[in-house]
A = this chain, B = another copy of it.
Amino acid sequence: MSIRYLTARLAQQIDEELMGAWGAFSIDQLMELAGLSCAQTEKYRRVLVCCGPGNQGGDGLVAARHLRMFGYEPTIYMPKPGSKDIYKRLHKQCDNMKIKSLLPDATIDELRSTLSSTDVILDAIFGFSFKGPVRAPFDEVLPLISSSKKPIVSVDIPSGWNVEKGNEEGVGIVPDVLVSLTAPKEGARSFKGRHFLGGRFVPKAMEERFQLNLPEYLGTEQIVELSQEQEPQRL
């Protein structure tokens, strides 16, 4: 059985059940494990962690903290910091780790300069609840990231992609690596790079109920690579 690709609606439903009365998870727990997954995919030392204002950005902040713990050199860029309490706490935790954050209103020149001394970009800008179009300030940020020619690792769905239709409009980031969380989204079917799955917290009963057909994670790993064979072709 092939792994299931989720519609935006199904992804939302799974998220709600995990954090609702049935699943009983707090968002703190799920973000911690999701961000830890993302941090486990990195290979290069200097990581620019680009965070959106929502939960996806929160995953990025958790990843930045674990990256620092693992000995990497993350720098955080939040063009529009989130307003939720958890987002602020996650950023404070990064501050405590002496992780550098660019100012939200960093100039294009500052951003270019930072990009030039970056080995890889972690794209945690938009997640599965993204609905276009790409608005300011991200309409300038996404092209800048794309034009940097640096390797990009995207979290869950590449930023700017339609969650179900992929990069149809061509305005999205085209990453080298994708870390799908919980289960891959429909829009990721057309993704051609290395594809990992993270978010090792889905109960078997839930996996079966939603027929997710998740691959087996190895040992204590928080990520598993999806082979090409596991990605079914669209008719």
Residue count of chain A within 8 Å CB distance of chain B: 33
CA distance A70 to B219 in the complex (A): 6
A residues 65-82 touching B (CB-CB < 8 Å)? 66, 69-70
Residue of A40, A96, A97, A204 most packed against chain B (CB within 10 A): A96
Chain B residues contacting A22 (CB-CB under 8 Å) are 96
A18-74 residues at the B interface, CB under 8 angstroms? 22-26, 28-29, 32-33, 39-40, 66, 69-70
Chain B residue nearest to A200 (CB atoms) is B69
Chain B residue contacts of A33, Cβ below 8 A? 32
A40 partner residues in chain B, CB cutoff 8 A: 220
Q: Give A202 Cβ to nearest chain B Cβ, in Å.
A: 9
Q: Answer whether residue A210 sits at the interface, using C-beta atoms and an 8 A cutoff.
A: no
The proximity string for A residues 215-227 relative to B, scoring 1 for CB distances below 8 Å and 0 otherwise, is 0010110100000
Of the candidates B26, B39, B97, which one forms a contact with A220 in the assembled complex, judged by CB atoms under 8 Å apart?
B39
Asked if A149 is at the interface of the complex by the 8 Å CB criterion, the answer is no
Cβ–Cβ < 8 Å partners of A97 in chain B:
203-205
Q: Whole-angstrom distance from the CB of A220 to the nearest CB of chain B?
A: 5
Give, as a whole number of angstroms, the nearest-CB distance from A60 to chain B: 15
Asked whether A24 lies within 8 Å of B89 as measured between CB atoms, the reply is: yes
For A39, list chain B residues within 8 Å (CB). 220
Let me know if A69 and B26 touch, CB within 8 A: no
Best-buried of A25, A29, A206, A219 by chain B (most CB within 10 Å): A29
Tell me, yes or no, whether A93 is within 8 Å of chain B by CB. Answer: yes
- Residue in B26, B96, B205 whose CB lies within 8 Å of A96: B205
Q: B217 to A96, Cβ gap below 8 A?
A: no
Is there contact, CB below 8 Å, between B24 and A26?
Answer: no
Q: Is the CB of B206 within 8 A of A96?
A: yes
9 sample A-B contacts, Cβ–Cβ < 8 Å, listed by A number: A24-B93, A25-B93, A28-B32, A32-B32, A69-B200, A97-B203, A97-B205, A98-B205, A220-B222
Interface residues of A (CB under 8 A from B): 22-26, 28-29, 32-33, 39-40, 66, 69-70, 86, 88-90, 92-93, 96-98, 200-201, 203-206, 217, 219-220, 222
